[in-house]
Chains A and B, each alone.
Chain A
Amino acid sequence: MIDKNAFLGKRVLVTGATGFIGGRLTERLALEYGAHVKAFVTNFANAARISRFAIEMVQGTVTSRSDVLRAAEGCDIIFHCAYGNRGTDEERRQVNVGGTQNILDAALQVRASRMVHVSTMIVYGTAIDGDLDESMPLCYSGASYADTKIDAEKLIFNYGKTKGLPVTIIQPTAVYGPFAPSWTVNVIEKMKRHRLILVNGGNGLANPVYIDDLIDAMLLASYEEKAVGEAFLISGGERITWHDLYKRYEAMIGEPSTVNMSIDQVKAHYKSSLKAEFFLTEFFSIMRDQPMIRRRLLKTFPLATIKKISEPILKKYRNSSGKKNSSPVLAKLDKTESVEKPIQVLNPLMLEFFSVKTNVKIDKARQLLKYSPRFDFKTGMNITEKWARWANMVNYDL
């Protein structure tokens, strides 16, 4: 259990506060724990979700030392959830490693009682078949996200040791729940247009964790004495396969949205899909179904030009396609026959990730953090479904 008074009136800095994890952390700190949250915001366009709380928003970027220091001023606890998810590899590195350095310096300067850093289980690589715990070596993979997270972790522990800054690292697994981009929103959005591949029938382990369990772990990590200088893997603690996870989303969508494939079949399917035709279809379907991406893409110069020329054609295309989320009035009237959805193309680089049976152990978190997941898969998914219906991601009148 989390100490109800641990955050009362405390000044808490949250970086990445407009994101999924930082956003929910901000929400719970403000609503449940009466903390004085300083939300570090890089882009106010993403701030609508946290704007409904009585919090302080501080604009800046983690790559600016002065921005970070200004934000950290007077803060007792610092949660570092920001990471680089755009730009070149070098730009991401600057955010993930350089930004972390700035946070550490600021935490030391303001004498923060704890700096909690959100990392990822991917720092151990994606090839572990069997039990995974924190004693496993960190494993560089060549992928920018994972590698920069490893470098950030090394930096943090080294800094903690040499400068005496109390630091704790949290390594979440596949985080799902309301607003979760990777393991909720993207899966549902993809499933609406495609059948997703269950590699080897989906018998690999997904290790999902419901967002609020992760937040619990982060909150515990910010004051438990035994957490200082430690890293903790955080999962939901159940043996859940990709089959379990995808089938649950498929049930929300209410139509066949998965397909079983062997590794060889995935590779063959990938090969056959490498045709221009496929990319065009894919492009149009993204342009049609993803308004956020569409708007962003259409602002780039080449596409703005193409848009001018192709507007009439696109319009025709839009009109002719039976749009899923169209109005209930029309949906009732022009029910088109359902056509089997195309199979999603899975890059063979992802095969290992989806086929291994990594069993993430959370014994260390249970022991030192007193972490105990409160949401079993069934409960977490039921809440997630309620949210997805509210968010109009799946049909609300089903």
Chain B
Amino acid sequence: MNKLKLGIFGCGKVTESLHLPVALQSNAFEVTCLVDTHFSRAEKLAQQYGISSVSNDYHKILNEVDAVILATPNHLHAPMTIDLLQRGVHVLVEKPMALVSSDCEKMVLAAKHSNCVLAVGLVRRFYAVSQFVKKIIDNRLLGDICDFDFQEGSIFSWKVTSDFMFRKEAGGGVLADTGIHTLDLLLWWLGDVNDVRYFDDFAGGVEADCRISLKLKNGASGIVELSRLRNMRNTYIITGERGTLEVGNRFNAEISLHLKGHAQVLKGSILTHGQPDRSMHEVFDKQLNDFAIAIKNGTQPFVSGDEGQRAVKLIDDCRSVRESLIYPWSVPVDHPEVCQ
């Protein structure tokens, strides 16, 4: 069977280290072109991997692609996805699929009308660990879920080359950046939200630390804390009527399971056919493969637009009820309560 022609739009770090190398190994796709507004960046990668077509304007190469991996800056996800879908191109869009949920809805509609696949790159759902947690909860091994405590964050040290991460075009600060993953897993595992309170330390720029207090439709309630300023526990704790599950948020994290009323804890890694997830390449390959199958069979991908929209919607809701986090060490010191 003929391979699908794949374009990769946006040649930043994730493309260079994951999307492109993975796509080049794919049996389902042939990488036909690279696009980046920084032409030289796309050209360098194209030369390195022998890709014939390079452009800084994706409109010029639309006849060369059946499908696109869209890894452009976040604020371009929505307009580019809609444009591509309307032109009959299948899209795997990086997370977050859009900055606001109203844009997500437009993207989902565009996919419906064009009969094209819209997949969202919420890659953590492809981790074996994440899928295992989903199975444990869905199979009611913990019983009804009562509460949860999700913590994710470390002192920011990504090797960013510009202030883009800290500009509003990126969709905000830690809530949008880290939260999109954390909240997506939470919603996928535990279900939709009934009530939200949200606190962050925004002071005119982008938030670096936030706290979300959630009540879910199934009655469970809990806290999500995200930070770029402090090293967090970096685990998700989910407590049901029968026990507590704790899972790390790093790649191939261990799971521990504690049954209520017992001193013993089960702790270990999740294996598939005797193997843990070997690398991020492998996980990105699963994601790309799923995209290919959805295109070929005309089915929904594992993470569809509807699914991808859920965390964006929750982030919207957080912002709409925002309250300030007050740091005792940050406020002007005339406040006497600080000095106790």
Query: Which A residues are within 8 Å of any B CB, using their own CB?
Result: 27, 30-32, 41, 44-55, 57, 59, 177-178, 212, 291-292, 295, 325, 327-330, 333-334, 374-375, 379, 382-384, 386-387, 390-392
Knowing A178-B329, A386-B328 are in contact, say whether A333-B206 is a contact too (CB < 8 A): no
Q: For A386, what are the chain B residues with a Cβ–Cβ distance below 8 Å?
A: 328-329
Complex CA–CA separation, A334 to B258 (angstroms) = 12
Ordered by A's residue number, 21 sampled pairs between the chains whose C-beta atoms are within 8 Å are A44-B163, A45-B156, A45-B157, A48-B156, A48-B208, A48-B229, A49-B229, A51-B163, A52-B201, A52-B207, A53-B203, A59-B162, A327-B233, A327-B235, A329-B246, A330-B246, A330-B267, A334-B265, A375-B333, A382-B340, A387-B328
Q: Choose among A292, A325, A334, A387 the residue that contacts B157 (Cβ–Cβ < 8 A).
A: A292
Are B329 and A383 neighbours in the complex by a CB distance under 8 Å? Answer: yes
> How far apart are A390's CB and chain B's nearest CB, in angstroms?
7
Give the distance to chain B from A64, nearest Cβ to Cβ, in Å. Answer: 16
- Of A44, A53, A330, the residue contacting B161 (CB under 8 A) is A44
Using A41-B163, A383-B328 as known contacts, list a sample of 7 further A-B pairs with CB atoms less than 8 Å apart, ordered by residue number in A. Answer: A45-B157, A49-B229, A50-B205, A52-B203, A327-B237, A329-B237, A386-B328
Q: Is the CB of B265 within 8 A of A333?
A: yes
- CB of B231, distance to nearest CB on chain A (Å): 6
8 closest A-B pairs by beta carbon, nearest first, are: A54-B204, A48-B156, A51-B166, A48-B228, A391-B230, A178-B329, A52-B205, A44-B160
Residues in B282-334 with C-beta less than 8 Å from chain A: 327-330, 332-333
Contact partners of B228 in chain A: CB under 8 A = 48, 51
Interface residues of B in 198-230 (CB under 8 A from A): 201-208, 228-230
Q: Are B229 and A51 closer than 8 Å at their CB atoms?
A: no
Quick check: A333 and B263 within 8 Å, CB to CB?
yes
Chain B positions within 8 Å of A, measured between CB atoms, are 154-163, 165-166, 173, 201-208, 228-233, 235, 237, 244, 246, 256, 258, 263, 265, 267, 327-330, 332-333, 338-340
Chain A proximity of B340: nearest CB distance (Å): 7
Report the nearest A residue to B258, measured CB to CB.
Answer: A329
Task: Report chain A residues within 8 Å CB of B327.
Answer: 387, 390
Q: Are A329 and B256 in contact (CB under 8 A)?
A: yes
- For the complex formed, measure the closest distance between the CB of B149 and the CB atoms of chain A, giving whole angstroms: 9
Residues of B within 8 A of A384 (CB): 329
Residues in A with CB closer than 8 Å to B230 are 390-392
User: For residue A382, which residues in chain B have a CB less than 8 angstroms away from its CB?
Assistant: 339-340
Q: Is the CB of A392 within 8 A of B204?
A: no
Question: Most A CB atoms within 10 A — which of B205, B230, B327?
Answer: B205
B interface: dominant SS = loop
Question: Which A residues are in CB contact (< 8 Å) with B231?
Answer: 291, 325, 391-392
Which of A41, A45, A327, A330 has most chain B Cβ within 10 Å?
Answer: A327
Determine the distance from Cα of A232 to Cα of B165 in the docked complex, in whole angstroms.
Answer: 38
CA distance A44 to B230 in the complex (A): 17
- From A384, which residue of chain B is reached at the shortest CB distance? B329
CB-based nearest A residue for B263: A333
Verify B229–A327 contact, CB threshold 8 A.
Answer: no
Residues on the A chain within 8 Å of B161, using CB: 44
Interchain CA distance A57-B160 in the complex, whole Å: 14
Contacts A45-B158, A333-B258 given; indicate if A32 touches B332 (C-beta within 8 A): yes
Within the complex, which residue of B154, B166, B256, B333 is in contact with A212, where a contact is CB–CB below 8 Å? B333
Using known A-B contacts A44-B165, A292-B155, A374-B333, determine if residue A383 contacts B208 with beta carbons closer than 8 Å.
no
Contact residues in B for A325 (Cβ distance below 8 Å): 231, 233
Which residues from chain A contact B158 at a C-beta distance below 8 Å? 45
Q: Contact between B208 and A51 (Cβ–Cβ < 8 Å)?
A: yes
Residues of B within 8 A of A292 (CB): 155, 157
* A329–B244 touching, CB < 8 Å: yes
B207 touches A45 (CB 8 A): no
In the assembled complex, which residues on chain B have CB atoms less than 8 Å from the CB atom of A334?
A: 265
> Once the chains are docked, how many angstroms separate the CA of A333 from the CA of B162?
44
The reply to whether B330 and A31 contact each other, CB–CB distance below 8 Å, is yes
Whether A327 lies near B204 (C-beta < 8 A) is: no
Task: Give complex CA distance A237, B58 in Å.
Answer: 64
B333 to chain A: which residues have CB within 8 Å? Answer: 212, 374-375
CA distance A27 to B205 in the complex (A): 11
